[in-house]
Amino acid sequence: MGLLEDRLTLSADYYVAQTRQALVNPVPPIFLGNAGTDPYQRIGRLENSGFELNVGYSDTRSAFTYGASANLTTIRNRVEQLGGNGQIYQAGPNGAARTEVGYEIGSFYLYQYDGVFQTADEVAASAQPEASPGDARYRDINNDGIINDLDRVHVGRVFPKIQYGVNLTAGYANFDIAALFQGVQGNDVLNVGKWWVDRGDDNSNYRTDYNPWTLENPTNTPRAVKSGGGGAGAYSAANNSRINSTRWLENGSYLRLKNLQIGYNVPQTALNKVKGIGSVRVYLTGQNVFTITKYSGYDPETPGGGSLARGIDDGTYPVVRSYTAGIQLGF
């Protein structure tokens, strides 16, 4: 749609994108001769759906020109089919990302962190009688009085509810400026880098603000205790503070000034004095100028740990902030 002599434009779409016959490798039954290598089959089915909205406005007032455009996309991702036998795919550290029918691809599959035990009475009344004051507390989701793998649940959102961008341009006389903002809203990121330094069992990896629980300093950060092993996938008293949980699941929303350019065109009257030069433009460009986010990791725009673990930030190097100055010459 175009209004006001096409100075204002608008487009809106609703989309349903289905992927059929996706390659998956379900585990065949033993009686079919399963030799440990599961063959791939074209039986997977995925669906993405949502809205796309684009709106723009531009105008010229004497020597001043300006324009603004914005785009917004919503997305709902859902796995519809992976084969029979309740096929499940796990990825990320100790299966923190789980792909199964009815959920997003690589949905977070974690224990529910519920704070820190402050007293022995709290421990005795919990599903973790082997814990100690200062240990992490987890929710007994199925109320069976035990914390185990059955208490892990799908939580958070891997895919953002909204992805958006805003492009602004303006020019006056010989000056011009352009800015591109980009961001997402409503997704989560599992901060594996923070898991390494916050679990409290490695004295070579502490943050400067690390403030663990002690009898004299009963904080809400679990006590520092050497882990007895067991990885991060299964709960035990020995690895209380290191299992995959919502303790390290953070808001991944952000707004970033992706590109900024300021330019100046040297007046033609000044160029007439120099033979052979038709135009001169001086400009300054910045990339990834700033980011507004609550995420405590290096970069909320993490590529993740692959297509089945896109919400896992395992220490990806952040995007680089850079500035460039240049001169464009026309002959």
As averages over each run of 10 residues, the pLDDT of the chain (331 residues) reads 93 94 63 58 83 96 94 95 78 89 94 97 95 96 94 96 97 95 97 88 79 94 78 80 93 97 90 81 97 94 86 88 94 83
Domain ranges of the chain: 2-77+162-188+244-330, 112-151+200-241
- What distance in Å separates the CA atoms of residue 241 and residue 243, rounded to the nearest whole number? 6
Q: What pLDDT does residue 34 have? A: 56
Q: What pLDDT does residue 230 have? A: 60
Q: What pLDDT does residue 231 have? A: 64
Q: Specify whether the CB–CB gap between 7 and 23 falls below 8 A.
A: no
The DSSP call for residue 36 is: S
Q: What pLDDT does residue 40 have? A: 63
In this prediction the pTM is: 0.87
Q: What pLDDT does residue 32 have? A: 54
Q: What pLDDT does residue 299 have? A: 94
- What distance in Å separates the CA atoms of residue 288 and residue 260, rounded to the nearest whole number? 9
Between the CA of residue 237 and those of 30, 136, 149, 222, what are the distances in Å?
Answer: 36, 10, 14, 13
DSSP string, 135-184: SEEE--TT-SS--SGGG-EEES-SS-SEEEEEEEEEEETTEEEEEEEEEE
